[in-house]
Amino acid sequence: MSKDYDVVIAGGGIIGCAIAYYLRKLTDYTVLVIEKGRIGSEASSAAAGMLGAQAELNEAGPLYTMARESRILFPELSRELKEICGIDIEFIDKGLFKTAGDESEVLKLKRLIDFHNNNGQPAHWVAGPELLKMEPRLSDRVAGAMFLPKDGQVNPVQLTRAFAESASRLGAVFLDFTEVAGFDFSQSGIDVQTSAGMYYGEKVVLASGVWTGKLAVQSGLHMPMFPVKGECLSLTFLEPVITSTVIADECYLVPKRGGRLVVGATMETGSYDRKVRAKGVLELLSKASAVLPGILHGEWEKAWTGFRPQTPDGLPYMGKHPCHKDLYIAAGHFRNGILLSPLTGRWMAELLEGKLQEETLREFAPDRFAYEKN
Ligand code: FAD
């Protein structure tokens, strides 16, 4: 294996893999991805796979705009990745219901519908009886729901694999079970110290999820990040119990292929605990069964945890390092890294090639907290 590359990416989660894919698709750069564990084994395989550009974001701003632009890429991306590597990312385009349990939630959701419509995005109210015709297994206590027809979903494990496999078929090299330990910036380009020796990148991208802040410190950059632990579980049914994704009070239900249902997710800020706790399972099942009572007849499949990479203002870090011209950062996608992966990959590839207007990433600047007082 060569030790010199045009671009070295630290981290093989969905963000690192998407950047590798777009780099190989759009440029001639040689690309090495270095991953400390298995490719895609952290947050990217814990996700539910919702493409909640409207469900997750309800304030106008750079993230709302980016999320919508990224969501648009999925139908074509799904065909493209299948063609290149044969992996089906299980893109499902059946929309998403956000349910209301009482009158105050009804009012809140109706205001949100106005917000989305005023921003040119489709959203409409579905009253209780009509909702039960569309999703007959939902509880008749649900007062109604906001329907977001464009918020689809994918299988996040398959999407990460598809980015990695397609990047690899287009020529990217993947080095797993290898940890990036540090950097030498003393000459042009960057020497990357790893547990398997030294590699050289003309340019280096830090895409190491919630651990990116620790690597950034080695480059002198204060880039605060913290984990938000999430627990999810899955059940199987002989036939699908719902057809669209349903978000209810602090839980969501995402119907997958073959009668699987993913139920998520707890939120615990600051925790690196990898264990699934009984409390989390109880919380998820009781919230989910309030909206879909039949869920308790499902067959238990499994439960898991992951760490959402969060930043103080909820915006990801994407862009150039303020002092080292060959160092780039793409991390902190919190609850929406699956949704944001295609556009992050494309923007970062264009930035590395010098083809992206830096203005595009202004609000995501990695150094926006660098000068804050401790
Ligand atoms: P990761 O997937 O964590 O990848 C970072 C990688 O870097 C890891 O594999 C790690 O091993 C590696 N690494 C770290 N340090 C080093 C080092 N020193 N050297 C080498 N490698 C290193 N998003 C959505 O869009 N929709 C959802 O429905 C959704 N649901 C979620 C549910 C849960 C429970 C969780 C936890 C997250 C969810 N997310 C969802 C968020 C999404 O999963 C994340 O935003 C996304 O996976 C972040 O990707 P990443 O590549 O930045 O991080």
3-class SS letters over the chain = CCCEEEEEEECCCHHHHHHHHHHHHHCCCCEEEECCCCCCCCHHHHCCCECCCCCCCCCCCHHHHHHHHHHHCHHHHHHHHHHHHCCCCCCECCCEEEEECCHHHHHHHHHHHHHHHHCCCCCEEEEHHHHHHHCCCCCCCCCEEEEECCCCECCHHHHHHHHHHHHHHCCCEEECCCCEEEEECCCCCEEEEECCEEEEEEEEEECCHHHHHHHHHCCCCCCCCEEEEEEEEEEECCCCCCCCEEEECCEEEEECHHHEEEEECCCEECCCCCCCCHHHHHHHHHHHHHHCHHHHHCEEEEEEEEEEEECCCCCCEEEECCCCCCEEEEECCHHHHHHHHHHHHHHHHHHHCCCCCHHHHHHHCCCCCCCCCC
**Residue pair 211/198 in contact by the 8 Å Cβ criterion:** no
Of ligand 1's listed atoms, the one at least distance from the Cα of 304 is 34
Ligand 1 pocket member 332 (CB < 6 A): no
pLDDT at residue number 186: 87
pLDDT at residue number 372: 66
The Å distance, Cα 61 to ligand 1 centre, comes to 23
Write the ipTM: 0.99
- Residue from 9, 36, 179 whose mutation best tests the ligand 1 pocket (most atoms within 8 A of CB): 36
Q: What angle do CA 367, 372, 374 make, to 5 degrees?
A: 130
Ligand 1 pocket member 316 (CB < 6 A): no
Ligand 1 pocket member 41 (CB < 6 A): yes
Ligand 1 pocket member 43 (CB < 6 A): yes
Buried b (16+ CB within 10 A) or exposed e, 153-162: bbbbbbbbbb
pLDDT at residue number 358: 80
The Å distance, Cα 193 to ligand 1 centre, comes to 22
Is the link from the previous residue into 265 a cis peptide, with omega within 30 of 0?
yes
Torsion of CA 310, 364, 211, 275, to 10 degrees: 20
Torsion of CA 66, 72, 75, 79, to 10 degrees: -60
The span from the CA of 41 to the CA of 208, in Å, is: 12
Residue 293 CB: number of other CB atoms within 10 A? 14
Ligand 1 pocket member 336 (CB < 6 A): yes
Burial of 373 (0-12, 13-18, 19+ CB in 10 A): exposed
Tokens 């999810």 -> residue: 232
pLDDT at residue number 139: 97
Ligand 1 pocket member 211 (CB < 6 A): yes
The Å distance, Cα 105 to ligand 1 centre, comes to 31
Torsion of CA 234, 240, 242, 247, to 10 degrees: 10
Q: Which residues contact 245 (CB under 8 A, 6 or more apart)?
A: 50, 55, 94, 95, 96, 97, 151, 153, 252, 253, 254, 255
The span from the CA of 156 to the CA of 14, in Å, is: 8
Rounded average pLDDT per 10-residue block, the chain, 374 residues: 93 98 98 98 98 96 97 98 98 97 95 97 97 97 97 98 98 98 94 97 98 95 97 97 95 96 97 97 97 96 98 97 96 98 98 94 96 61
pLDDT at residue number 163: 98
HEC secondary structure over 214-271:
HHHHCCCCCCCCEEEEEEEEEEECCCCCCCCEEEECCEEEEECHHHEEEEECCCEECC
User: What predicted TM-score, i.e. pTM, was given to this entire model?
Assistant: 0.98
